[in-house]
Amino acid sequence: MCGIVGYIGKKDCTKILLDSLSKLEYRGYDSAGIAVFENSEIRVEKTKGRIAQLEEKIHRNGWINGSCGIGHTRWATHGEPSDVNSHPHGNANISIVHNGIIENYSKIKAFLETKGYVFESQTDTETVAKLLDYYYNGDPIDAIRNVISDIEGSYALGILFKDFPNKIYAVRKDSPLIVGVGDDEAFIASDIPAFLKFTNKYYLLETNEIVVLDNGKAEIFDKHGFTIQKELMVADWDMEAAEKGGYEHFMLKEINEQPSAISSTISPRIADGMPNLNECGLTQEKLASYSNIFVVACGTAMHAGLVGKYVIEQIGRIPVTVDVASEFRYRNPIITNKDLVIVVSQSGETADTLEALRLSKKMGADTLAIVNVVGSSISREADMVIYTHAGLEISVASTKAYSVQIAVFYLLAFELAYAKGAISKEECMRLTKELESVPAMLEIVLKQDVICKYVASTLVNAENLLYIGRGLDYAMSMEGSLKLKEISYIHSESYAAGELKHGTISLVTDAMPVIAVATQRNLFDKTVSNAKEVKARGGKVIFVTHNYINVDDDVADYKIGLPTIDDLLMPMLTVVPLQLIAYYTSVLRGNDVDKPRNLAKSVTVE
Ligand code: AGP
């Protein structure tokens, strides 16, 4: 939702904060600001707009010369993007940056107003700043402990106290915050890319642990104020992962990283030609014992769960329910201790998914997290975790994370089906081998970008689009539609192809392109009929299917052909042209592909 950073060391703090914030712009970018100790005073510069505008403002008003400070890049939750609503918030004595939502801020604000405080912004964060001021009696940790006992909601806070120049205080609950530790310098950040250039060593903070950065070192206290020792983690990502590597956008880089991401994810989980997920505690006995499986996630992660549903039900014969986390939490789901709840999340910080996980645990289900970010909140709270190895995913539109998520679902489905005796060892090995062939196949598919770029050029002025498919192709059409919407800003919706004639086909005109996904050969003829219905009404059809299948003119205007693997695994290939079509359409429309409007990479608020 927002990005927060902090630096203390011997270098130019302002420069480091701006550089670190730029690495977190994918988390939120409608305003930005920094607070730096300059001659023992807290100097704040902040503005509506991107980091670039902040840098211009700092140059205009005079560089801030200091070696200790905090910074923030915002995705507005309370109060529109504006200078006054930008972070940091506070006064000459206290300055804070915040990621999260304070749910009881109105009550606290009303209390503080009775104490004479006057508010100038519309943010919940300003309430925290003034509450800190209210409790501050010369002991920062005491003030912080009082504040966190009063506020409710999610927060990662970076704090400066004027009385303690060249110290940074920080605390978190539900919003991510990590502590980077370098040579005589230390950092706080919402995510690793912020300081990866300087160090890959970091501490993970647990809920309401307080960290004090002082003299380039980090000291961590529990919520009672006692010092605690933490394990120093080492990120296996390098700066190259946080750079574009010669691609125009992170999204295109990450689309092209899918073959290696899939290999890194599945290879360690295949032994003697068979899937093996024991590392996470999911034994075959346990897998075979579940009565129901629930998959809960948001956005693209939920779409990965849809593929998981089709595959697990098709070969494992266990009922799988897929829910968006924001619905699951409030529909009073019927879950027992015989059920498995799988939560899927690239960031591992999505608020709704985290709360759905907590609800599932409370209801007695076994919980498994499929997560990309090591040490994220969801990975730490689930009973079992399978880490995907997609590496850093920076573009807001999720691509390689989706592919590795469905790759894990395939492994899970194969192992579960075999454990239940629903498929033979030979069949399990055949499917596993087919999965292992995907990275090489993807290299072929990635070369299809010319046709995808051309198709994008035919969509660039469209205002509405339909994606249709059946079975696994319907699941793919949902992901293709979301990709297009979120980065091209063209309205699109995915529709079960067989459902089209029950109303939605009334929308079809020559101005309504339809992308028909038809890789499931048992349903191919039916999808062809649906495409013909669209063509017969003047609609333009783009057909995604196997290379070897000829598609007549009365079925489609354009065909995107894919190499053939087992239909069950075709989603691993199908998603790439759908990603590329969305990418090129966005580029042709001049959008900021990696940082689309109104979006943030990780939605850590409800
Ligand atoms: C994907 O392209 C979107 N940016 C979004 O739907 C995302 O998948 C969703 O917010 C879930 O995020 P997570 O995987 O980090 O939980």
Q: What are phi and psi of 458, to 5 degrees?
A: -85, -10
| pLDDT score for 176 | 87
> Cβ(346) to ligand 1 under 6 A?
yes
According to DSSP, the β-strands at 339-345 and 292-297 are parallel
Domains of the chain: 3-241 (3.60.20.10), 244-436 (3.40.50.10490), 443-589 (3.40.50.10490)
| pLDDT score for 468 | 97
Q: pTM for the full model?
A: 0.82
- Please determine, for residue 530, whether its predicted confidence score (pLDDT) is greater than 80: yes
> Cβ(492) to ligand 1 under 6 A?
no
The mean pLDDT value for 8-21 works out to 96
Q: How confident is the model at residue 149 (pLDDT cuts 50, 70, 90)?
A: very high
- Please determine, for residue 543, whether its predicted confidence score (pLDDT) is greater than 80: yes
Q: How confident is the model at residue 28 (pLDDT cuts 50, 70, 90)?
A: low
Q: How confident is the model at residue 66 (pLDDT cuts 50, 70, 90)?
A: very high
| pLDDT score for 230 | 92
Q: Which residues of 469-482 are buried (b: 16+ CB within 10 A; e: fewer)?
A: bbbbbbbbbbbbbb
Residue 557: DSSP 8-state: S
Lowest mean pLDDT among 70-84, 120-134, 274-288, 542-556: 70-84
Distances 153 to 104, 221, 355, 458 between C-alpha atoms, Å:
7, 21, 12, 46
| pLDDT score for 80 | 78
Determine contact, residues 7/160, Cβ cutoff 8 Å: no
> Cβ(405) to ligand 1 under 6 A?
no
Determine contact, residues 375/360, Cβ cutoff 8 Å: no
Distances 435 to 235, 256, 547 between C-alpha atoms, Å:
28, 18, 19
Average predicted confidence (pLDDT) for the chain: 94
Q: Pull the structure tokens for residue 603.
A: 């939605």
- Please determine, for residue 57, whether its predicted confidence score (pLDDT) is greater than 90: yes
> Cβ(479) to ligand 1 under 6 A?
no
Determine contact, residues 153/102, Cβ cutoff 8 Å: yes
- Please determine, for residue 271, whether its predicted confidence score (pLDDT) is greater than 80: yes
- Give Rg (Cα) of the chain: 25
| pLDDT score for 604 | 73
| pLDDT score for 456 | 97
Q: 487 alpha carbon to ligand 1 midpoint, in Å?
A: 13
> Cβ(350) to ligand 1 under 6 A?
yes
- Please determine, for residue 245, whether its predicted confidence score (pLDDT) is greater than 80: no
DSSP sequence for 460-529: TT-SEEEEEESTHHHHHHHHHHHHHHHHH--EEEEEEGGGGGGTGGGG-STT--EEEE---TTTHHHHHH
| pLDDT score for 54 | 95
- Please determine, for residue 78, whether its predicted confidence score (pLDDT) is greater than 90: no
Separation of alpha carbons 304 and 342, rounded Å: 11
Q: 601 alpha carbon to ligand 1 midpoint, in Å?
A: 7
Cα 534 to chain center, whole Å?
Answer: 35
Q: How confident is the model at residue 27 (pLDDT cuts 50, 70, 90)?
A: low
According to DSSP, the β-strands at 186-189 and 339-345 are unpaired
pLDDT, one tens digit per residue, over 545-587 is 999 999 999 899 999 999 999 999 999 999 999 999 999 999 9
Q: 105 alpha carbon to ligand 1 midpoint, in Å?
A: 27
The mean pLDDT value for 4-10 works out to 96
Residue nearest to atom 6 of ligand 1 (CA): 299
pLDDT, one tens digit per residue, over 393-427 is 989 999 999 999 999 999 999 999 999 999 999 99
| pLDDT score for 1 | 62
According to DSSP, the β-strands at 274-275 and 270-271 are antiparallel
- Please determine, for residue 37, whether its predicted confidence score (pLDDT) is greater than 80: yes
Q: 62 alpha carbon to ligand 1 midpoint, in Å?
A: 39
Q: Which residues are catalytic?
A: 2, 601
Q: How confident is the model at residue 337 (pLDDT cuts 50, 70, 90)?
A: very high
Q: How confident is the model at residue 11 (pLDDT cuts 50, 70, 90)?
A: very high
pLDDT, one tens digit per residue, over 357-402 is 999 999 999 999 999 998 899 999 999 999 999 988 989 999 999 9
Three-state secondary structure of 19-61: HHHHHCHHHCCCEEEEEEEECCEEEEEEEECCHHHHHHHHHHH
Separation of alpha carbons 123 and 126, rounded Å: 6
- Please determine, for residue 430, whether its predicted confidence score (pLDDT) is greater than 70: yes
- Ligand 1: atom nearest CA of 303 is 8
- Please determine, for residue 302, whether its predicted confidence score (pLDDT) is greater than 70: yes
Better-predicted residue by pLDDT, 244 or 61: 61
In percent, the amount of the chain with pLDDT more than 70 equals: 99
The mean pLDDT value for 104-111 works out to 95
CB atoms under 10 Å from CB of 274, counted, come to 15
Q: Pull the structure tokens for residue 376.
A: 């994220």
The mean pLDDT value for 20-46 works out to 89
Residue nearest to atom 7 of ligand 1 (CA): 299
- Ligand 1: atom nearest CA of 397 is 2
Q: 201 alpha carbon to ligand 1 midpoint, in Å?
A: 26
